Amino acid sequence: MNKILTLVISLAFILGPADTQTAPLTLEDISSIRHVTTVRMNPAGDRVAYLLEVPRELYKDDDGPSYHELHVTDLQGNSTPFVSGDIDITDIAWAADGASIFFLAQRDEEADFNSLYRIGLAGGEAEQLFTHVNSISRVYPSPRGGTLAFTATDAPPEKSKELEEKGFKAVVYEESVLPSRVWMLDLESLESTVHDLPGSASDFTWLSDGSRYAVALAPTPLVDDSYTSRDIHVVDTVPGKVQSKMGSVGKLGPFAFSPDGERIAYVGSVDINDPSEGRLYVASTSGGERRELVPEYLGHVGAFVWADDATVRWLGKRGVYTDWATASAFETESPGAAPASGPIIRAVHGNPGQDVVAAIADTPDHPPELYVLRDNAEPVRLTHSNRWLAERELARQEAITYKARDGLELEAILIHPAKRERGGNPLVVMAHGGPESNFSNGWMTNYSRPGQVFAANGYAVVYPNYRGSTGRGVEFSKLDQHDYAEEEFNDLVDAKRHLFEEGLVDADRVGITGGSYGGYASMWSASALTEEYAAAVAFVGISDQISKFGTGDIPYEMYNVHALAWPWDDWMWLLKRSPIYHAGKTKTPLLIMGGDKDPRVHPGQSLEMYRFVKIRTDTPVRLVIYPGEVHGNRNSAARYDYSLRLMRWMDHYLKGPGGEPPPWELNHADRLEALAEE
């Protein structure tokens, strides 16, 4: 078996697809997909700077995450690479006059952190302007020019290299995390000064004349506070003192001043128990009562751009599509009919007073690309980063609805198998994380959810938006609160049963996979719901809700928007909602994978489930650990390795012989040797 598998993988690597006109998408294709990650409209509204993510080449490049290149395009799609190659640019911003672009990158491999660079629109070499005492997070050039704000921490405490070599290198958990601060950089003298503000800074936006700015501050730099306790503070640029704050509660999204500076619009939460920011509010810059611009919206607002002093253009997720609409800053308006088509818009950037906005969007046929949006016009795509995708045959994808066993109507995305089998195809259920997240009917394929690759190999693939998902309003997103794992994961089973009743799938050949909360769903499905699934792959998943409270970095977020209770309120309730409690029931072969540096879901969660299943059952279980990876794999090789293991586990138990698990090793050496001979 091992020799056959090695031969198949090696031949696929060396030969590639036989017919490039009709070739299906492969895991190797996924590992090379490029996509747009950041867009910035220039001040004049006639050019867009964007970052293009370029994966490292497998087996050739050294280990590491994808590169990020800087490109600039006009509104006709004439794009030029400005800073490209082996570089990871983390942020970009236009200068106030539009003549140059600032960017952050760590170009010196020997440096401990990144630097600020500037490149002229006319071209030429980028100049290194400034290096802070620690890495810079984001940059925000003043609209006045002459000044650039940035967020960063102070210098880390000095460490004695001699003492470290002798073993004195203890880390004080949480207390040693430094707060992020707002700094002002004079672009002539290149000297920086820090503003002494009450909290740790994150998002930032300027007033149009540069006299004030707004910044989100959390009480501490800990992730939990950034989720639950941030508020918007309005600050006088000189002398850097807080003038007012908005009094927002719960999770906080983007915010911006109106062009006249009288109001601030922001995406916020209904209350502290709202699972996700998604309401669009406006309030006076001096504080006071807020007003919701799109009340009773059965979706979640994600971003917006001021059109003028009285109008806001906003982006919302509603169902499995996205809204791009306008709202009055003074009068309540209906959001209109729900969208039923169109590219899925992920992010927007624009300037007040202009009729064009830059956007990132994707469709079932292509990954995220740069678009431009104009009022009352169809989105226009400007970039084509993966032209070779035209040579790949993609399986049919559609949005579907089905009913849960209690009558609740649910939505899902279905990718049909490339070839339909008599008696039904194997099915893979993809469970999203969060659960405050949702699937939209756009590009559905990546390294951890290779939907089109599964479809090309005869699988049906379904992506359900189970109760607790975003995209259907606050009430729907709260349906799973204080109800871990029960109805929400039954919704996944009901998607399977719906497709079986439709005659599409074989109910005895169903697998499930997902990451984070989706990993929780996968472990629960393999144990408590083991009769429903023939294979499961859990990625950075939760197995023990009690120890999750004690080992993760978001206990207050878990309490406020998930459990609505502490473990000591009812130990047994929380334990019974943990897959480890049901581990002895596990009949579903379970593959568990994750990084050893995950701060969100401690690696011990994976180890607990692995150990309990291994001790209590004879069911095949395997644990794969990725050194250095966090909450999801960042490095190209680790991503590809994950894809191979996921695919092989499902093939083995849903299409293959089953029984003992497939060999634990993957023969990467053959590919490396083949490349050396080329």
Q: Give the mean model confidence (pLDDT) for residues 526-545.
A: 98
What's the CA gap between 577 and 556, in Å, rounded? 18
Beta strand 136-141 with 231-236: parallel, antiparallel or unpaired? unpaired
> The whole model's pTM is what?
0.94
Nearest Cα residue to 524 out of 566, 577, 595, 565: 577
Q: pLDDT tens-digit profile of 217-262?
A: 999 999 999 999 999 999 999 999 999 999 999 999 999 999 999 9
What's the CA gap between 322 and 299, in Å, rounded? 9
pLDDT at 538 over 50: yes
What's the CA gap between 272 and 276, in Å, rounded? 10
Give the sign of the dihedral formed by CA 64, CA 65, CA 70, CA 73. positive
For residue 398, give the amino acid letter.
E
pLDDT at 16 over 50: no
DSSP string, 626-673: ETT-BSB--BHHHHHHHHHHHHHHHIIIIIS--SSPPPS---HHHHHH
Q: pLDDT tens-digit profile of 398-424?
A: 999 999 999 999 999 999 999 999 999
pLDDT at 1 over 50: no
Residue 378, exposed/middle/buried by CB under 10 A (0-12, 13-18, 19+)? exposed
Q: pLDDT tens-digit profile of 560-600?
A: 999 999 999 999 999 999 999 999 999 999 999 999 999 99
pLDDT at 460 over 60: yes
Q: Give the mean model confidence (pLDDT) for residues 612-641.
A: 97
pLDDT at 675 over 70: no
Report percent pLDDT > 90 for the chain: 91
Phi-psi region of 50 (alpha: psi -120 to 50; beta: other; left: phi over 0): beta
Please give the residue that has the higher pLDDT: either 2 or 215: 215
109 contact partners, CB below 8 Å, separation of at least 6 = none
Q: What is the 3-state secondary structure (H, E, C) of 111-180?
A: CCCCEEEEEECCCCCCEEEECCCCCEEEEEECCCCCEEEEEECCCCCCCCHHHHHCCCCCCCCCCCCCCC
Cis peptide preceding 579, ω within 30 of 0: no
What is the Cα gyration radius of the chain?
Answer: 25
Nearest Cα residue to 69 out of 48, 84, 47: 84
Please give the residue that has the higher pLDDT: either 16 or 435: 435
Positions of E strands within 448-580? 460-465, 505-515, 535-539
What's the CA gap between 521 and 542, in Å, rounded? 8
What pLDDT, on a 0 to 100 scale, did the predictor assign at position 15? 36
| 395-669 CATH choice from 3.40.30.10, 3.40.50.1820, 3.40.50.1970, 3.20.20.140 | 3.40.50.1820
Tokens of 260: 């006249």
Positions of E strands within 189-240? 192-195, 200-206, 212-218, 231-236
For residue 625, give the amino acid letter.
I
pLDDT at 623 over 70: yes
Helix and strand tally (H, E) in the chain?
Answer: 14, 37
What pLDDT, on a 0 to 100 scale, did the predictor assign at position 21? 58
Q: What is the mean pLDDT of the chain?
A: 94
In whole angstroms, how far apart are CA 661 and each of 1, 650, 653? 11, 11, 8
| Total Cβ atoms within 10 A of residue 22 | 10
In whole angstroms, how far apart are CA 506 and each of 405, 533, 536? 20, 11, 16
pLDDT at 7 over 80: no
With beta carbons less than 8 A apart as the criterion, state whether 464 and 431 touch. yes
Positions of E strands within 67-110? 67-74, 79-83, 89-94, 100-105
Phi-psi region of 62 (alpha: psi -120 to 50; beta: other; left: phi over 0): beta
Angle between helices 2-15 and 668-677 (to 10 degrees): 40
| pLDDT band, residue 556 (cuts 50/70/90) | very high
Beta strand 392-393 with 397-403: parallel, antiparallel or unpaired? unpaired
Report percent pLDDT > 70 for the chain: 96
Residue 77, exposed/middle/buried by CB under 10 A (0-12, 13-18, 19+)? middle
In whole angstroms, how far apart are CA 585 and each of 380, 489, 527, 605? 52, 17, 6, 18
Give the sign of the dihedral formed by CA 156, CA 158, CA 164, CA 167. negative
Nearest Cα residue to 631 out of 596, 605, 590: 596
| pLDDT band, residue 326 (cuts 50/70/90) | very high
- Boundaries of every domain in the chain: 395-669
Tokens of 195: 């503003």
| pLDDT band, residue 178 (cuts 50/70/90) | very high
**Sole residue written with tokens 């606050």:** 474
pLDDT at 110 over 90: no
Q: Give the mean model confidence (pLDDT) for residues 334-350.
A: 94
Angle between helices 487-501 and 517-527 (to 10 degrees): 70
With beta carbons less than 8 A apart as the criterion, state whether 464 and 491 touch. yes
Q: Give the mean model confidence (pLDDT) for residues 298-307.
A: 98
Longest dimension (CA), the chain: 74
With beta carbons less than 8 A apart as the criterion, state whether 329 and 263 touch. yes
pLDDT at 8 over 60: no
| pLDDT band, residue 376 (cuts 50/70/90) | confident
Instruction: Return the DSSP state at 563.
Output: I
What pLDDT, on a 0 to 100 scale, did the predictor assign at position 161? 84
| Total Cβ atoms within 10 A of residue 23 | 16
| pLDDT band, residue 17 (cuts 50/70/90) | very low
For residue 147, give the amino acid letter.
T
Strand partners, 88: 68
CA 667 from centroid of its chain's CA atoms: 30
Q: Give the mean model confidence (pLDDT) for residues 300-312.
A: 98
3-state secondary structure of 561: helix
Q: pLDDT tens-digit profile of 477-501?
A: 999 999 999 999 999 999 999 999 9
What pLDDT, on a 0 to 100 scale, did the predictor assign at position 483? 96
